[in-house]
């Protein structure tokens, strides 16, 4: 039929679009396109016409699409896709439309994602519109310097900056975007500034810039005072000043008051849908090391990322506000109080203010927006003390001490309580089976039932409302057993054992699986990772091991930087 069409043999219809006319066979067109089928089989004047003017169709699109109907082949390019997609839509060639959408999705870039989004909306491509929108959210900072962004009309601009799921390192970036959008057409847009400032979360200003932490402990306040207050645009807008006062007031509140002071501008944005990575920080291999590797769950691969500024094993690791804190530990000669902070987006480590006490083999966790460092060993004795860090004030302060000294303690947060599990108390020379839980409300430690056995150096993680204690040791005996605590029944119960005995391993939860990373089995440091599926109550060894055998590494889950 394709040959016949090429030679204009037995063609019974001519299609016209713009200055192109093509002879074709009705039966082929009708077989491929329900648009033509309806046209040729209905009792319309067109069903008998031998010349059809497709006014809405682009001439190039007509040639390519007719060729496709004869050959099942077509090449989508940046040049033709804008004509092909609407053409495929009209002729109801849905496989072509889908291919065009896939093509456009593969072309998404900060400079075109807003345009592709509206193109997708216009032509009812729901998936493409979704991905273009997601792309815009996830690349907001790069998008905000592009022409497409600067030319956005006000309603779309408001929609975009009020979006809860924008991915920004700090609210300052949204602020700067609003100012540059306004300056781009100052005379017409100046009057809208108050409508835009309303959606900037000034109060939260802002995720702290770690580079400035040591110099400017309250960067956010300084930013408000220096950058925002002096902005002529804001000075001239009384509603903006109200928002500014609200933000300043928020900054004067005590941390616990802040938790209670809620406006649309005090809620952090929550970027969604980011893929995750597992970071494994330092450790013994066999001595304290600086190296950091990360496992990409999407690619199933290990990568190396930037080293820490100093050697560190037996540290505590916590993730807060997109930053990774490596806290305390042992540097090969000394138990340290120092803290290094990692910014995944920049792949950079920066030192932060030190803890009050030297702590290695401590437990670290985040509870109510604060980072807790619990127990550990200071070089001469085990510690019952614990302290917490508030990133908004950039200060460590002691909290109530535990009932026992616990070095090699594991911690986990569940139901608003921070659990300190097992460890070694030095005094009785026994590994501990006891557990206690910290309640921030009363600043006190509450008793929790003992585990079924003594565990020091156990990995602790939480999943689906349960607290898991994984491996650990009692004297020279290294465990492969695992137990979990249900706070509702207040009972510990054993679950399936790991493949290997492990102590001083790292434990994290990802995608409803518990991952146990490295550790040592009493003989050697392990590079293997196993994961536990609670549904099947079974452990699986990950096929890919770390580059190094590591015990006492810090492990956490982070968003994969885009
Ligand atoms: C302040 O706002 C008024 C009215 O909106 C406008 O006429 C004036 O030019 C603005 N001044 C500055 C410095 O932006
Ligand atoms: C493993 O780490 C321990 C410390 O936990 C160290 O003493 C030992 O030498 C390491 N073993 C190997 C085989 O790397
Ligand atoms: C460990 O830390 C101490 C104190 O900061 C420092 O003097 C020492 O050089 C460090 N040791 C190593 C091996 O980095």
Give pLDDT tens digits for 307-345: 999 999 999 999 987 789 999 999 999 999 999 999 887
From ligand 1's centre to the CA of 280, what distance in Å?
54
pLDDT at 411 over 70: yes
Q: Indicate whether residue 186 lines ligand 1 (CB < 6 A).
A: no
From ligand 3's centre to the CA of 118, what distance in Å?
57
**DSSP secondary structure string for all residues of 503-551:** BS-EEEEETTEEEEE--B-SSSB---EEEEETTTTEEEE-SSPPSS--B
pLDDT of residue 59: 92
Q: Indicate whether residue 236 lines ligand 1 (CB < 6 A).
A: yes
Residue 261, SS3?
A: coil
Q: Count the neighbouring beta carbons within 10 Å of the beta carbon of residue 418.
A: 25
Residues 129-161 have pLDDT tens digits of 999 999 999 899 999 999 999 999 999 999 999
Cα angle: 490, vertex 493, 499; to 5 degrees: 145
From ligand 1's centre to the CA of 179, what distance in Å?
15
From ligand 2's centre to the CA of 288, what distance in Å?
10
Q: What is the mean pLDDT of residues 287-309?
A: 93
From ligand 1's centre to the CA of 229, what distance in Å?
16
pLDDT of residue 267: 66
Give which of 56, 62, 60, 47 is closest to 15, Cα–Cα.
62
Segment among 274-278, 327-331, 441-445 with least mean pLDDT: 274-278
CATH architecture assigned to 2-107: 2-Layer Sandwich (3.30)
**Could you tell me the pLDDT band of residue 185, with boundaries at 50, 70 and 90?**
very high
Between 274 and 241, the higher pLDDT residue: 241
pLDDT at 218 over 60: no
pLDDT at 242 over 70: yes
Q: What is the mean pLDDT of residues 360-385?
A: 95
Ligand 3: which atom is nearest the Cα of residue 288? 13
Mean pLDDT of the chain: 89
From ligand 2's centre to the CA of 467, what distance in Å?
28
pLDDT of residue 255: 58
Q: Quick one: 276-559 is in which CATH superfamily?
A: Kelch-type beta propeller (2.120.10.80)
pLDDT of residue 430: 85
Identify the nearest ligand to the CA of 193 by its number. 1
Identify the nearest ligand to the CA of 519 by its number. 2
CATH class of 152-260: mainly alpha
pLDDT of residue 209: 34
CA-atom Rg of the chain in angstroms = 31
412 touches 398 (CB < 8 A): no
**Could you tell me the pLDDT band of residue 268, with boundaries at 50, 70 and 90?**
low
Select from 284, 331, 351 the residue to mutate for testing ligand 3; criterion: most ligand atoms less than 8 Å from CB: 331
Q: Indicate whether residue 360 lines ligand 3 (CB < 6 A).
A: no
Q: Count the neighbouring beta carbons within 10 Å of the beta carbon of residue 88.
A: 25
pLDDT at 234 over 90: no
Residues 373-390 have pLDDT tens digits of 999 999 999 999 999 998
pLDDT at 562 over 60: no
Identify the nearest ligand to the CA of 183 by its number. 1
Give which of 366, 354, 298 is closest to 329, Cα–Cα.
354
* Closest protein CA for atom 10 of ligand 1: 236
From ligand 1's centre to the CA of 183, what distance in Å?
13
3-state secondary structure 19-85: CEEEEECHHHHHHHCHHHHHHHHCCCHHHCCCEEECCCCCHHHHHHHHHHHHHCCCCCCCCCHHHHH
Q: How far apart are CA 50 and CA 320, in angstroms?
A: 69
From ligand 3's centre to the CA of 331, what distance in Å?
6
3-state secondary structure 178-201: HHHHHHHCHHHHHHHHHHHHCCCC
* Closest protein CA for atom 12 of ligand 3: 331
pLDDT of residue 389: 94
pLDDT of residue 172: 81
Alpha helices (runs of H) in 139-231, residue ranges in sequence order: 140-143, 147-150, 154-161, 171-184, 186-189, 193-197, 210-213, 219-222
Name the residue ranges covered by the structural domains of the chain: 2-107, 152-260, 276-559
**DSSP secondary structure string for all residues of 272-318:** ----EEEEEE--BSSSB---EEEEETTTTEEEEEPPPSS--BS-EEE
* Closest protein CA for atom 14 of ligand 3: 331
pLDDT at 231 over 90: no
Segment among 223-237, 347-361, 449-463, 541-555 with least mean pLDDT: 223-237
What are the φ and ψ backbone dihedral angles of 365, each rounded to 5 degrees?
A: -160, 165
Q: Indicate whether residue 238 lines ligand 1 (CB < 6 A).
A: no
Q: Indicate whether residue 288 lines ligand 3 (CB < 6 A).
A: no
pLDDT at 272 over 70: no
Select from 233, 236, 237, 239 the residue to mutate for testing ligand 1; criterion: most ligand atoms less than 8 Å from CB: 236
Q: Hey, do 2-107 and 152-260 end up sharing a CATH topology, with the first three levels equal?
A: no
Ligand 3: which atom is nearest the Cα of residue 310? 14
Residues 457-500 have pLDDT tens digits of 999 999 999 999 999 999 899 999 999 999 999 999 999 999 99
Q: How far apart are CA 154 and CA 243, in angstroms?
A: 20
Residue 252, SS3?
A: helix
Residue 5, SS3?
A: helix
From ligand 2's centre to the CA of 329, what distance in Å?
16
* Closest protein CA for atom 6 of ligand 3: 334
**Could you tell me the pLDDT band of residue 207, with boundaries at 50, 70 and 90?**
very low
* Closest protein CA for atom 2 of ligand 3: 334
From ligand 3's centre to the CA of 310, what distance in Å?
8
Q: Indicate whether residue 232 lines ligand 1 (CB < 6 A).
A: yes
pLDDT of residue 427: 75
From ligand 2's centre to the CA of 458, what distance in Å?
17
Q: Indicate whether residue 522 lines ligand 2 (CB < 6 A).
A: no
Residues 247-256 have pLDDT tens digits of 878 777 765 5
3-state secondary structure 76-131: CCCCCHHHHHHHHHHCCCHHHHHHHHHHHHHCCCCCCHHHHHHHHHHCCCHHHHHH
Q: What is the mean pLDDT of residues 8-24?
A: 91
**Could you tell me the pLDDT band of residue 211, with boundaries at 50, 70 and 90?**
very low
pLDDT at 352 over 50: yes
pLDDT of residue 394: 83
Which strands form 363-367's sheet, in the order they lie side by side?
A: 363-367, 370-374, 386-390, 395-399
From ligand 2's centre to the CA of 524, what distance in Å?
6
Percent above pLDDT 90 for the chain: 67
């Amino acid at each position: 039929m394709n040959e016949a069409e090429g030679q204009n043999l037995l063609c019974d219809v001519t299609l016209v679009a713009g200055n192109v006319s093509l002879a074709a066979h009705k039966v082929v067109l009708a077989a491929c396109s329900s648009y033509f089928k309806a046209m040729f089989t209905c009792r319309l004047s067109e069903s008998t016409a031998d010349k059809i003017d497709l006014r809405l169709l682009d001439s190039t699109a007509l040639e390519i699409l007719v060729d496709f109907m004869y050959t099942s082949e077509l090449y989508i390019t940046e040049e033709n896709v804008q004509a092909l997609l609407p053409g495929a839509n009209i002729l109801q060639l849905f496989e072509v439309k889908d291919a065009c959408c896939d093509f456009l999705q593969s072309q998404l870039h900060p400079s075109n994602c807003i345009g592709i989004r509206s193109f997708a909306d216009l032509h009812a491509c729901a998936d493409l519109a979704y991905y273009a929108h997601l792309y815009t959210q996830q690349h907001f900072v790069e998008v905000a310097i592009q022409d497409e962004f600067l030319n956005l009309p006000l309603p779309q601009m408001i929609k975009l900056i009020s979006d809860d799921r924008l991915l920004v390192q700090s609210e300052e970036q949204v602020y700067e975007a609003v100012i540059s959008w306004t300056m781009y057409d100052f005379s017409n847009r100046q009057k809208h500034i108050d409508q835009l400032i309303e959606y900037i979360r000034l109060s939260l200003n802002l995720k702290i810039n770690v580079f400035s932490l040591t110099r400017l402990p309250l960067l956010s306040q300084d930013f408000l005072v220096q950058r925002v207050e002096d902005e002529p645009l804001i000075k001239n807008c009384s509603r903006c000043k109200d928002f500014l006062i609200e933000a300043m007031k928020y900054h004067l509140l005590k941390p616990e008051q802040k938790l209670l002071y809620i406006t649309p501008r005090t809620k952090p944005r929550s970027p969604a849908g980011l893929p995750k990575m597992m970071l494994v920080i330092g450790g013994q291999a066999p001595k304290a090391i600086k190296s950091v590797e990360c496992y990409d769950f999407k690619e199933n691969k290990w990568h190396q990322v930037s080293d820490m500024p100093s050697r560190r094993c037996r540290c505590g690791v916590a993730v807060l506000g997109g930053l990774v804190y490596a806290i305390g530990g042992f540097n090969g000669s000394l138990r340290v109080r120092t803290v290094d902070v990692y910014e995944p987006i920049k792949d950079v480590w920066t030192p932060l203010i030190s803890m009050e006490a030297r702590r290695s083999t401590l437990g670290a966790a985040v509870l109510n927006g604060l980072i807790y460092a619990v127990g550990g060993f200071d070089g001469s004795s085990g510690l019952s003390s614990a302290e917490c860090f508030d990133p908004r004030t950039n200060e460590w302060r002691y909290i109530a001490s535990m009932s026992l000294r616990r070095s090699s303690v594991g911690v986990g947060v569940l139901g608003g309580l921070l659990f300190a599990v097992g460890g070694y108390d030095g005094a009785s020379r026994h590994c501990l089976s006891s557990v206690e839980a910290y309640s921030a409300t009363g600043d006190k430690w509450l008793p929790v039932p003992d585990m079924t056995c003594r565990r020091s150096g156990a990995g602790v993680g939480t999943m689906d409302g349960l607290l898991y204690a994984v491996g650990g040791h009692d004297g020279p005996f290294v465990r492969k057993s695992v137990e979990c605590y249900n706070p509702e029944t207040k009972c510990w119960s054993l679950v399936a054992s790991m493949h290997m005995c492990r102590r001083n391993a790292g434990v994290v939860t990802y995608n409803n699986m518990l991952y146990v990373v490295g550790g040592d089995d009493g003989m050697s440091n392990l590079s293997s990772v196993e994961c536990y599926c609670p549904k099947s109550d079974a452990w699986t060894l990950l096929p890919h091991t770390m580059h190094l055998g590591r015990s006492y590494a810090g492990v956490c889950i982070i968003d994969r930087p885009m």
